Amino acid sequence: MTPAFDLRLLSTPLPPVNLADCLRETGGVAADPQSPGTVYLGTWDHVQAAFSHPDLLREHPDHPVASAPISRVPSPGLIELDQTWPVFRDPPAHPPLRRALMAALTGALSPDRQERIAQAIQSHLRVLAAQSPFDAVELAHFVPSLAMTLLLGLDDPQEFQPLVVQMLRGDPTGFRTARLEVVDRLSDALSQQRQNRADTVLSRLDQALPDAPKATILSLALFLLTTGHGGVKDAIVNALWLAAQGLDGGALAQIRAPGAGAMAAFHETLRLLPPLRMVDRYVHGPIRLGPHQFNRGDRVYLMIGAALRDRLAFDDPDVFRLRPLAPKSLAFGLGPHACLGQHLAPWLWATTLGAVFAHGVPQQSGPTRWTEAPDESRLRALSLCLIAQP
C-alpha cells in the first residue's frame, strides 16, 4: 500500500520542512488518505519521469474530451461555457494546436516590440513608485497582460490591457463581461490584421492554422492571454518578496539587464518559489514508477515545488543561491505539455526586475498575504517601498 503523508504540508508558501525529504522517506510517493486513488509524487526523479510518461495524461481516461476531434476544439461555445480549455488538455488535436501556438510565439518578440514593452513597464513603474508604498502585485499584473496585448498587435493597449486584467482578476460577473469584451476586441483586431498583414502573434496564429474558423483563432489568442499571465506575475512578485526579505543574498539587486546572471536568478526564484507548485495527471495505465504500481484512473499530482527542493538534485535546496542553469526547467514542466512561454517569461521577468532595481531596493512596508492554494506560490498583496541606493 502507498504510504500516506500530512497534506497540511502542502499549503504553506515556504514549508518549514522540506517536502522532498518527507516524500523520500516514503519512496518518493505518498497517498492522499482523504481521497482513494489520489497519489503525490515529489522527488526529482519521479516527477521528471512522470512528465514524459506516455500513460500519464491530463484527462481522465473516461472523459469525453480525451477523444474529441479537432472540430470540437475550441469553439465560441467553449469560450462562453467551458473554462477548461480543451487545447490545454489531451485531445488528439493537441499537437497541431500546440505547434501553431509555438509558431505564433516564436519570433514575435522583435527588437522593436521589446523596446515598446520595456518602455511601457518603466513608465507604469514610475507612476507606481511615485505613490510609495505601492502594491507589487499591481505592477506584476500589468507586465504579462501588457506584453501579450502588444504581441497580439492590439493597437489600443491603454484600453485593452486593463480589460485583460479585469478578465483575469474580476469577480464572476466582471470576469464574464470583460471576457466578452476582450473577445470582441480580438475579433476586430483579427479582421484588420487579415486585411493588413502584420507580424503579430495573432496574425502568426492565423497563418499557422489556415483552415481554422475565426473562433478557433480567437479562442487560442484568449488562451495565451490567460494561461501565461499567472506564472509571469507570480515569478515577479515572488522575486520582489525574496529581495525584500534579503533571502536572495542581494543577488536580485544586481539585475540591470538580461544576461547570464539574470537568468540564473530567474531560475533560482522559480526553483525556490515556483508559481505552479503542482500539476495533475491521470493514469491511463496500469503503470509502474520505481517500486510503485498505479492503476488506470488514478489521479497523480506531480509536485514540482517538492522536486525543486530535492537534495539529491540540489545542494542546500532551501537556500537561494545562483546555480548552474541545468537542471532548471522543471518549473515550466517537461514533455508534451511543457510551457510554451518559457522563452518569453525570463525576458519579461528580467526587464521588470531591472526597472524596479533601477529605482531602488524593495523594502516591505506591510503584512504579506499568501494564497492558501496548495498548487501555487502566490501572494495576494505585497506592499513595497523602493529605497534608492547611493
Return residues touching ligand HEM (CB under 6 A): 88, 98, 101, 144, 224, 227-228, 231-232, 235, 270, 275-276, 279, 331-333, 337, 339-341, 344-345
Contact 307, 333 (CB under 8 A): no
Angle at 344 between CA 237 and CA 268, to 5 degrees: 50
Q: How far is the CB of 76 from ligand HEM (least distance, A)?
A: 20
Number of C-beta neighbours around residue 389 at 10 A: 9
CB nearer to ligand HEM: pick between 24 and 98: 98
Using DSSP's 3-state secondary structure scheme, residue 31 falls into strand
Q: How far is the CB of 12 from ligand HEM (least distance, A)?
A: 19
**From CA 385, how far away is CA 298, in angstroms rounded?**
47
Q: How far is the CB of 280 from ligand HEM (least distance, A)?
A: 8
Phi, psi of 373 (to 5 degrees): -65, 130
CB nearer to ligand HEM: pick between 132 and 299: 299
CB nearer to ligand HEM: pick between 74 and 341: 341
CB nearer to ligand HEM: pick between 149 and 193: 149
CB nearer to ligand HEM: pick between 133 and 336: 336
Q: How far is the CB of 174 from ligand HEM (least distance, A)?
A: 23
- The per-residue b/e assignment along 133-166, b for 16 or more CB within 10 angstroms, e otherwise, is bbbbbebbbbbbbbbbbbbbbbeebeebbbbbbb
CB nearer to ligand HEM: pick between 132 and 227: 227
How deeply is 91 buried, as exposed, middle or buried, from its count of CB atoms within 10 A (0-12, 13-18, 19+)? Answer: buried
Using DSSP's 3-state secondary structure scheme, residue 52 falls into coil
* Matching residue, cell 527588437: 111
**From CA 154, how far away is CA 168, in angstroms rounded?**
18
Contact 347, 353 (CB under 8 A): no
CB nearer to ligand HEM: pick between 83 and 365: 83
Please identify the residue of the shown chain whose CB is closest to the bound ligand HEM.
Answer: 341
**From CA 196, how far away is CA 181, in angstroms rounded?**
23
CB nearer to ligand HEM: pick between 52 and 293: 52
Using DSSP's 3-state secondary structure scheme, residue 357 falls into helix
CB nearer to ligand HEM: pick between 75 and 342: 342
Q: How far is the CB of 261 from ligand HEM (least distance, A)?
A: 18
Q: How far is the CB of 389 from ligand HEM (least distance, A)?
A: 27
Q: How far is the CB of 111 from ligand HEM (least distance, A)?
A: 19
**From CA 297, how far away is CA 291, in angstroms rounded?**
19
Q: How far is the CB of 106 from ligand HEM (least distance, A)?
A: 11
Distance between start and end Cα atoms, the chain: 61
Q: How far is the CB of 344 from ligand HEM (least distance, A)?
A: 5
HEC readout, 185-254? HHHHHHHHHHHCCCCCHHHHHHHHCCCCCHHHHHHHHHHHHHHCHHHHHHHHHHHHHHHHHCCCCCCHHH
